[in-house]
A and B are shown apart, each in its own frame.
Chain A
Amino acid sequence: MSGASVAPGGNPIRKYPVHFYSYFKEFTGCPEATVELVAGATIQDLLVEVNRHFPRMAGLQDSLLIAVGVEYQGRNYQLQPGDEVSLFPPVQGG
Chain B
Amino acid sequence: MRPDGYADFPITRPNSLKRELIISPEPIDEAGLVARRTLSSGMGAVVYFAGVVRGTEGTTSIQAIDYECFDRMARHQFDLLFDEIEKRWPIESVRLTHRLGVVKVGEASLWLEIIAPHRGEALAACEWLINEMKRVVPIWKRPVP
Instruction: Give the B-binding residues of A (Cβ under 8 A).
Output: 19, 21-23, 65, 67, 69-72, 86, 88-89, 91-94
Contacts and interface: CB of A to CB of B under 8 A. Distances in A.
Interface in B105-145: 109-110, 130, 133-142
Contact of B138 (A21, A23, A69, A94): A21
A88 B139 contact: no
Contact of B76 (A70, A91, A93): A70
24 contacts: A22-B68, A22-B142, A23-B142, A69-B73, A70-B72, A70-B77, A71-B76, A86-B70, A86-B73, A88-B70, A88-B138, A91-B137, A91-B138, A91-B139, A91-B140, A92-B139, A93-B67, A93-B98, A93-B133, A93-B140, A93-B141, A94-B109, A94-B134, A94-B139
B72 A88 contact: no
Given A21-B68, A94-B110, A67 B137 contact: no
A67 B138 contact: yes
Contact of A88 (B67, B98, B134, B140): B140
B22 to A, nearest CB: 13
A46 B72 CA distance: 22
Contacts of B44: none
